[in-house]
Chains A and B, each alone.
Chain A
Amino acid sequence: MKMVNLIINNVKVTVEENTSILKAAKKFNMNIPTLCYYEDLGIKSDCRVCVVQVEGKKGLVSSCSTPVSEGMVVYTNSARVLNARKTIVELILSNHDVKCTTCIKNMRCELQNLAKNLGIDENRFPSVFERQPIDDNNPSIVRDPNLCIKCGRCVDVCNNVQGTSVLAFYGRGHETRVSAVFDEHLSDAFCTLCGQCASVCPVGAITEKDDTDLVWKALADPNKHVIVQVAPAVRVSLGEEVGQKIGTIVTGKMVSAMKILGFDQVFDTDFTADLTILEEGNELIHRITNGGVLPMMTSCCPGWINFAETRYPDILDHISSCKSPQQMFGSLAKSFYPQKIGLDPKDIFVVSVMPCTAKKYEAKRTEMSVDGENPDIDVVLTTRELGKMIKQMGIDFENLDEKPFDSPFGITTGAGAIFGATGGVMEAAIRTVYEVVNKKPLESLDFKELRGLEGIKEAEINLNGTMVKVAVAHTLSMAKVLSEQVRNGTSPYTFIEIMTCPGGCIGGGGQPYGTTNKTRLDRISAIYEVDAGMPLRKSHENPEVLALYKDFLKEPLGKLSHHLLHTYYHNRNNKSQTR
């Protein structure tokens, strides 16, 4: 690689050619403020906050998009630059609903932070902001256009990462706005509610729907037995919400914190992840041996289900009928559990903590109800909302003792844990299916080819002498690639795992802000660390799961399983026949 010498703020630096000025400066400990820039997304260069002065150039250039060149002399903080940067932020604020102290993003808003760092204590420009209606018509995501600063991150993620094309820029000039097509509600615009837009929004324009008040209310109600389940990905990311290093495993402290918050029982979604593997693994074996519809596709991810129901309604019978681990927990929590502890299901209030915004929607699906009336899961919180509650209560997280999950949904395996990473469900399934079919133990439990951030990963497994191809995709753009093959009948696979969010659930739309590929890899490492540290690593060896079958469900794919743990899907493409 060719190296380039340049001078940034009187410091001589040498970096690889084609490095942007922004990255070159960062490498030498000079952080240039940015706003539209987001690691791993496309360079948009539209906020103009990162402008710098380059000797010999008349105007200022955006450091995110300008590559270094030999002999370049750059000033990142000259008087001219500082004035320009301040003016730009003031301009943004002049068309923004400035209500920082009551904004959901207060103290974690990139615009607010920028204004603070630049020392903006007054805005020279009068406000030209015009109020528009807020879209809070779905259970997952709130879009408040009054806060939008047109940075384009959400449009980029929605179109280029997810390929869902729900959000776009409309109009032009000062009237430019981000919206769903025809200004529809997101819920009508085939939004999958994946929340990736919320995850990258620098301000409060797109956020998860905040349901913490509902949980506080339930916790305060003496007549409610409030239980909570926590998804695999939460324990490796919640730490970031309370000031811990990325990739810290906080399982025990998290359980303690939730006990302090007042939950009567704290359970582990890893448990129902193990249960999912038994059901889904057996479903796969059943489909293979009985000439069922193949390839089978996973069903744990609600964003993917939304995507398939709206864009690929013709391939719904490829999707496993298993409910997601969240919903399997929900059914058990409103059937088996109350029976076991002798309570009326109506007095049980079930909370989920998920890395996901689409889970909020999933919990509201009418079919996700054991009694046909009340939802099995009462409230779904994202990792961020749990973090918020911990802060609201003033819990000193770092100094908490570690506590175990409660029984009967507390013993879990490494297979359940890895559900949180792309490829994890597949790996967990193979660990079980292989041993069930071949009736001998696997030599190595680690399927390295299924791990990591490659868009589509493949593996082959030997089932009783037949080589079976499987594939794993994350992001909906990649899901589209595999779905097209399934639609066209050209899919070479037998089993396909699909996760909506980049990196899988650890990169979910409800995860702590600032998620990048580096963050994803750190969280993934933590997930596999959890797995490797478990005494049990295969779902079919989970004693509590086996006990559940023995005492209650009887057998995988049995009558009760079918009633409680399986579901069906709808064609939700109501707009045009062929879209």
Chain B
Amino acid sequence: MIEMKLISKRFGKINPLSIEEYIKFDGYKNLKKAFSMERTAIIEEVQKAYLRGRGGAGFPTAIKMMALAKETNKEKYILCNADEGEPGNFKDRYLMENDPHQVLEGMIIVAYATGGTKGIIYVRGEYQKSISLLKWSIDEAKKKGYLGNKILGSKFNFDIEVRSGAGSYVCGEEFSLIESIEGNPGRTRVKPPFPTQIGVFGKPTLINNVETFSTIPTILEISGAEFAKIGTPTSTGTKLISLSGNVKNKGVFEIPFGVPIRDVIYKLGKGIEKDRKLKMVQLGGACGPIIPEYMLDMIIDFERFEEFESKTGAGAIIVIDERFDLFDILLKIVQFFQHESCGKCTPCREGHIQLANLIKKFVERKATMEDIVSLESLARVIHQTSLCGLGQTSPTAIISSLRYFRDDYIDCVEHSYKG
């Protein structure tokens, strides 16, 4: 068995509109358990589980929770990042559409453990179905006393509201997201201070991804220690993988960390459509590396992904077959970032259009060896100097392709029209 269904266990098994069905299927059980625990003990469990953020960066969740718990401000925000805009990712949508209460339960537990007073789920505007489902579920949870004042008869008050994005990928970046919630354009802020110090509306704020919150009830259920046994020593637990592209069986799959990419593509994805040859795989999404067939035995964990100097832990696998030209794909990726750049910092604002111009030369077979040098140099500068995660990770595809598909570049130059 490659799959391991912990947080996707209810997918397709319950009616997401029904809180009763959720409750029947162990729902809100772990919230009750949390209420019976010391607040610090909950954070300890998360720490023992060594849960790392599922949004991409892989930051240890317990450290964020401790930082927030330490803050003495009367108001503290628990923010759920559901601005899943990375091309190739749709697992958060599955979580929200198939098991919305699990997201809520995770948020309530984290709020309880850290002293959070208000929750906000920021959902990208494209996910209208998720938005209505979450709103519905919040109302249901309130009726049942899982949200609102004096939750489950305790002294703990916590409420969650849903905010919609309006078409901006960069709002998935934490400070851009905060800006957007405050009603501003999603242009990031300078760090420090960090969100746990000064976050949304100037209040201490913990931000986590939908999947991270969804994992919290499971950790309480099986204990942190048991959770840590799943996966690899440094990447614990399971991960939802969004598998798309030219495979026979696309979709969201939950696997323990440590599974080779090849197994995901050939066992869960049932191989390449029409049994064509695989040309390349993009990991993580548009901001992730592009790797060739011979690297597919690489296992999925945070460490392997970090080697690409990119935050690609969101778990997308985009499979691209032999029919496609590397440069067509790269151009689409660069144009995506050119369109989604907030425009605040120079390398990202001015760099992507130049990257696109360079890639176009390869697409049109008009490139020279110098263009390879320029492309590599510019991609590295954008990666090293951009203000936020968007520009820091956008050149990953190019940088990795220069490493693994250098022959394509050389071939292209050799076959380019001269003059």
Interface residues of A (CB under 8 A from B): 43-49, 51, 58-60, 62, 65, 67, 80, 83-84, 87-88, 91-92, 94-95, 124-126, 128, 149-150, 152, 169, 171-176
Contacts and interface: CB of A to CB of B under 8 A. Distances in A.
Contact of A150 (B349, B381, B383, B384): B349
Given A65-B190, A91-B350, A173-B349, A126 B357 contact: yes
A48 B346 contact: yes
Given A43-B190, A48-B386, A173-B352, A92 B343 contact: no
Given A87-B377, A92-B350, A126-B357, A176 B383 contact: no
Interface stretch (B18-26, B68-76, B258-266, B333-341): B333-341
Given A45-B190, A174-B353, A176-B349, A169 B343 contact: yes
B354 A91 contact: yes
A44 B347 CA distance: 14
Contacts of B187: 169
B288 interface: no
Contacts of B383: 59
B4 to A, nearest CB: 32
B354 A46 contact: no
Interface string B160-194: 00000000100000000000000001010011100
A170 to B, nearest CB: 9
Interface of B: 168, 185, 187, 190-192, 309, 338-347, 349-354, 357, 374, 377-378, 381, 383-387, 392
B41 to A, nearest CB: 32
A173 B385 contact: no
Query: Would you list the 9 A-B pairs with minimal beta carbon distance, nearest first?
Result: A176-B343, A91-B350, A173-B341, A87-B381, A65-B190, A59-B384, A45-B190, A48-B385, A46-B345
A92 B381 CA distance: 14
Nearest to B339: A173
Contacts of B309: 58
B350 A60 contact: no
Contacts of B387: 45-46, 48, 62
A43 B190 CA distance: 8
Contacts of A67: 192
25 contacts: A43-B190, A45-B345, A46-B345, A46-B387, A48-B386, A51-B385, A62-B190, A84-B384, A87-B347, A87-B377, A87-B378, A91-B354, A92-B346, A94-B350, A125-B378, A128-B354, A150-B343, A172-B342, A173-B339, A173-B343, A173-B349, A173-B352, A174-B343, A174-B350, A174-B353
Contact of A83 (B339, B345, B374, B381): B381
A384 B378 CA distance: 39
Contact of A172 (B185, B192, B384, B392): B185
Nearest to B381: A87
A91 B346 CA distance: 7
B343 A128 contact: no
Nearest to A64: B190
A173 B337 CA distance: 9
Contacts of A88: 346-347, 381, 385
A83 B377 contact: yes
A152 B342 CA distance: 13
Nearest to A174: B353
A60 B385 contact: yes
A65 B387 CA distance: 11
A59 B392 contact: yes
A46 B344 contact: yes
Contacts of A43: 190
Contacts of A58: 309, 384
B318 to A, nearest CB: 23
Contact of A60 (B339, B357, B378, B384): B384
Nearest to A85: B385
A298 B387 CA distance: 45
Contacts of B350: 91-92, 94-95, 128, 174
B190 A44 contact: yes
A174 B168 CA distance: 14
Nearest to A151: B346
